């Protein structure tokens, strides 16, 4: 078998060396960020209507839309949470219990009873 060359043991860094390395890395990161193309983000929600947009999103909506149309995403989420073919009886019971407790805590007593 070939003998392995002994590895040189590196001396631990001093506090000054660590500080210098941190400053160098910080400067490199700042330089990189400053070199990126500056452009305005236009794909998001408008700042003046973000709450309205959040209320329309299936993850954040607090009420069902007035026309009764549920988005496919919201329908899929509900199916994942409440479909007996996707969940065991214990998982279903836990989901309903958590919903009831959440509604009771937020004083939505009718919803808490229905759940």
What are the residue ranges spanned by the domains of the chain?
Answer: 70-115
- For residues 10-39, give the mean pLDDT: 93
Helices (H), 15-84: 15-35, 50-56, 72-82
Asked whether residue 65 carries a pLDDT value surpassing 90, the answer given is no
What is the value of pTM for the model shown?
A: 0.42
Residue 17 contacts residue 10 (beta carbons within 8 Å): no
Higher pLDDT pick, 15 / 64: 15
Length of the chain: 115
Residue 21: the pLDDT is 95
């Amino acid at each position: 078998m070939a003998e392995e060359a002994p590895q040189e043991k590196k001396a631990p860094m001093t506090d000054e060396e660590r500080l210098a390395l941190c400053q160098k890395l910080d400067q490199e990161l700042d330089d990189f960020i400053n070199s990126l193309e500056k452009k305005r983000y236009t794909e998001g929600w408008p700042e003046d209507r973000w709450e309205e947009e959040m209320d329309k999103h299936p993850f954040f909506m607090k009420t069902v839309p007035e026309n009764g149309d549920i988005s496919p995403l919201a329908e899929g989420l509900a199916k994942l949470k409440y479909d007996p073919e996707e969940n065991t009886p214990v998982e279903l019971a836990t989901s309903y219990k958590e919903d009831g407790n959440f509604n009771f805590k937020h004083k939505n007593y009718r919803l808490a009873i229905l759940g």
